[in-house]
Amino acid sequence: MSRKRENVRQCKAIRQLIDDNKYTKALELIDAIPLEEVGSLDDLYRYAELYEKAERMDKKKEIFYHIYHRTHSRYMLNRLLRLTIRMGDMEEARELYFAYEVAGPITLDTFELRYLLAKAEGEPPERLIQILEELKKEEYTEEWGFRLACLYEKTGQIDKCIQECKDLKLWFGEGKIVDRAMQLLEHCENPAVAEPEELEEVFRLVNNYLDPKGVFLFDFNTVYKYKEVMGDTVIAEDRGECSFIWDNFYYEEERINEYDLTLFIQEDANEDLYRRYQETHYQRGYTLEEMKELVECSGLVFEAAYDAVTHEEPTEKSERIYIVARESGK
């Protein structure tokens, strides 16, 4: 059998393995086949996504480079740049962005890539705002308009945040992002989350009213939990007499966690009658270091911190932390 026919047979076998969810065996065959001998771009894309599932991002990038060199497609350059940014290869990402800019006209994607690169490189919020304001002039979209509103709120430009939220409502009417914009608008007009300095003042008052050497215990959810565990998710549970839908959003730049809670509470056990209740909650994420600083700045003595699950010293993956503080004099 010729090499070409053997590769065709191998590609067909790989497709079948992927369709059958036999990913480990499929990857073994993909590793063994030269990319230049895979004729179908669709096959190459599937291989790249399989490497993504296996968290072998270098191999996914290798395939993307191969497709780009084969097609010279600006679309492929776009995907390659986004992947490189995700992988944290900033020098390579800058080179790819330059190649993207010179490869064609300035479009919405140009501003999106410029923003993603600037954010990954740690550019200040003011620079990110500048990019999104330029993007808005090119083409106004819900996603990027909402990000702009969030940045305005983060940098204290509340009037601009409010106007941006109203623009989103005017232009797009309704939808999930518009709903979030309206909630952000409500937050700006009627702040529902305590600022760090307000939390410090609470701790100061606790210290003031504790008995001498009295102990203050409290707990908090961490940034890790909000970002990595909760994120933008929907949780639904049926607990017999009560069911709920928890629609969670995490605004990473502001470190604000928002969740819309819809409860269905049984009113009469003899009748299949449930009453619906709705609530919206906002919480701010803190690191252990930040919380310790707030405690100490308030006048309390920071005694100890424990992981709420293991009751041992917290780690970077602790989701909830107990704090022990003590009164230190008025």
Q: pLDDT per residue over 56-101, tens digit each?
A: 999 999 999 999 999 999 999 999 999 999 999 999 999 999 999 9
The side-by-side arrangement of strands in the sheet containing 234-238 is 234-238, 242-251, 256-268, 273-284
The C-alpha atoms of residue 54 and residue 111 are separated, in whole angstroms, by 31
Q: Which residue has the higher pLDDT, 268 or 119?
A: 119
Question: For residue 209, what is the enclosing H or E element?
Answer: helix 196-209
Q: How large is the average pLDDT for residues 203-229?
A: 94
Tell me whether residue 246 is exposed, middle or buried, using C-beta atoms within 10 angstroms of its C-beta: 0 to 12, 13 to 18, 19 or more: middle
pLDDT of residue 314: 96
DSSP 91-158: HHHHHHHHHHHHTS---HHHHHHHHHHHHHTT--HHHHHHHHHHHHHH---HHHHHHHHHHHHHTT-H
Q: Which helix (H) or strand (E) holds 278?
A: strand 273-284
Which residue type sits at 209? Answer: Y
Give the closest residue to 326 by CA, choosing from 213, 218, 219. 213
Percentage of the chain beyond pLDDT 70 is 98
Which residue's entry shows tokens 């290869």?
89
Q: How far apart are CA 70 and CA 116, in angstroms?
A: 26
Question: What are the CA-CA distances from residue 36 to residues 43, 131, 132, 134 (Å)?
Answer: 12, 39, 39, 40
Gyration radius of the chain over CA positions: 26
Residues 328 and 213: their CA atoms lie apart, in Å, by 6
Residue in 174, 192, 296, 205 with CA at minimum distance from that of residue 254:
192
Q: Among 2.40.160.20, 2.20.25.110, 1.10.3720.10, 3.30.360.10, what is the CATH number of 231-284?
A: 2.20.25.110
Cβ atoms within 10 A of the Cβ of 149, count?
26
Host H or E run for residue 316? none
pLDDT of residue 1 exceeding 60, the answer is no
The CATH-assigned architecture of domain 193-222+286-330 is 3-Layer(aba) Sandwich (3.40)
Q: What is the structure's pLDDT at 269?
A: 66
> In the predicted model, what is the mean pLDDT of the chain?
91
d(CA 200, CA 205) in angstroms, rounded, equals: 9
Residue among 94, 131, 130 at smallest CA distance from 115:
131
Task: Give the model's pLDDT for residue 330.
Answer: 63
Residue 282 CB coordination number (10 Å): 17
Q: Which CATH number describes the domain made up of 3-189? A: 1.25.40.10
What's the pLDDT band for 192 if we cut at 50, 70, 90? low
- Overall average pLDDT of the 293-311 stretch: 96
pLDDT over threshold 70, residue 117: yes
> Residue 11 — pLDDT band, cuts 50, 70, 90?
confident
Q: What type of residue is 91?
A: E
Six-digit token pair at 66?
A: 């191969």
- Which of 155-159, 303-307, 321-325 shows the lowest mean pLDDT across its residues? 155-159
pLDDT band for position 181 (50/70/90)?
very high
What are the structural domain ranges in the chain?
Answer: 3-189, 193-222+286-330, 231-284
Q: Is 190 or 36 the better-scoring residue by pLDDT?
A: 36
Percentage of the chain lying above the pLDDT 90 cut: 66
- Three-state DSSP at 245 gives strand
